[in-house]
Amino acid sequence: MSDVLLVTGGSRGIGAATAICAAKKGWDVAINYARDAEAAKKVSNQVNVFGRRSLTIKGDMTSEDDILNMFEQVENELGHIKGLVNSAGTTGKTARVENMTALAIRQILELNVVGLMLCCREAVKRMSTINGGAGGYIVNVGSAASRLGGPNEFVHYAASKGAVDSFTLGFAREVAKEGVIVNAVSPGMIDTEIHASAGLPNRAVEAAPGIPMRRVGRPEEVAEAIVWLLSPGASYCAGAILPVTGGR
């Protein structure tokens, strides 16, 4: 039986590309989604093409109950979770700081930070050798925005991803001796639908001239980095934050 990977936000963008890339490398994949069951099913079908088992799970990653149910369902239907990729996230809508509402800030932090931390908590309960587990891999999806700051657009989002970076560093050092390998990727400008959902459908293309490689990245390029961090090839990486930014 193959190792089991859980991907939150796995129905679109980087999460979907990661699920498919992982299946190519031999993982069985559980695909979490928030709303679009059809998109999740398409990813699941692509996982099956590579002879791997798949599972789609609807769940809101801002809900602790949904997170608990998700982990339980994966274990019941696919088996022990060996890998976790925290890809679920949101930029929120663009706004200068002076125009941000408390609700908008909380919504971003609840998903990008609190939900991610709770998923890590549930994973380490199962993976850590001190909890009777056999070890495992966790990769958090951060963002280059954490060091670029997102001025005039996404300062709240950038701050949430800064929290992801800090959490990854501390968490990795906490559990490295327990067989749990924790790292993060820090994508730059990637061509996904997240820009359109923020109200800026052309944002990625317009940013290309400011990127040293003079192009935006593809979700598949980030997925390759994530799946490498899930592999024995990255066995001495812990607390790494791997930029996938085209040099930006």
Which are the catalytic amino acids? 157
- C-alpha radius of gyration, the chain, whole number: 17
In the numeric block, which tokens belong to residue 123? 């994973």
Q: Is 103 helix (H, G, I), strand (E, B) or coil?
A: helix
Structure tokens at 168: 């990854």
The Cβ of residue 98 has, within 10 Å, a number of other Cβ atoms equal to 5
Q: How far apart are CA 166 and CA 173, in angstroms?
A: 11
Instruction: Identify the residue whose tokens are 């990854």.
Output: 168
- Taken as a whole, the chain contains a residue count of 248
Please choose, from the candidates 24, 12, 139, 32, the residue with its C-alpha nearest in 3D space to the C-alpha of residue 78: 32
Residue 24 CA, chain-centre distance (Å), reads 18
Which phi and psi angles does 57 have, rounded to 5°?
-135, 120
CA 136 → CA 180, 181, 200, 210, 233, distances in Å? 5, 6, 37, 37, 14
